[in-house]
Structure 1
Amino acid sequence: MDAVRAVAEPRRREILRLVWDAELSAGEIAERFDVTFGAVSQHLKVLRESGLVTLRQDGKKRFYRADREALGPLAAYLQSMWAAKLDTLAELSEAAERAERSEGTDS
């Protein structure tokens, strides 16, 4: 599977976000999702076979990290997408705070 098709799936994009700056074990990744470990393992397999994550094995544990170099131009796109989501979340939070303050002064 090519990289674009691999990151088209939302859970795989979320896995990439999780391992963007930090190496995580398969178990740590799976804990963040509401699907089975097997389902997460399949997503990790697709990402690994697409060359988008690296795998390091330490005993029985498998650790994953995003391979930004392999992502090429997709890396910048994914980072901008995640930044845009964070910007939106910050704007919503600030709007909620302003609304709370204005409700408090209306009493």
Structure 2
Amino acid sequence: MKKLRNQFPFLLIIVLAFYGLPFIDRESGMLILLILFPLVCFLVALVYGLKHSFNLVYSILVMALFIPTIFIFYNETASFYIGAYGLISIIGNLLGNLIRKIINRSTEV
């Protein structure tokens, strides 16, 4: 339960991006799908990994949060992005965790 509580602020940012950005700019759907969402997923997962270490559940929740947007804003061809954003968040989370371990190792010396 504590891990889920730690994930909440990060998932809130993801929700705001997934559901807020398409409302702000409805004309730039491909820009949002190809550049902004991956950037947000990566950066938020990186910070999560830095603060709380790696957690696969976080990336699964990112994927689950994107699913309703397919039916709200896009069409079924956007289903591909579920896995893409999950993979991007896994990479960001792993990288953040790696940086965290390197920083912790250097401060122990």
- Tell me the TM-score normalized by structure 1: 0.38
By percentage of residues, which structure has more helix? 2
Q: Which has the higher contact order (CA 8 A, sep 6+)?
A: 2
- Tell which structure's C-alpha radius of gyration is larger: 1
By percentage of residues, which structure has more strand? 1
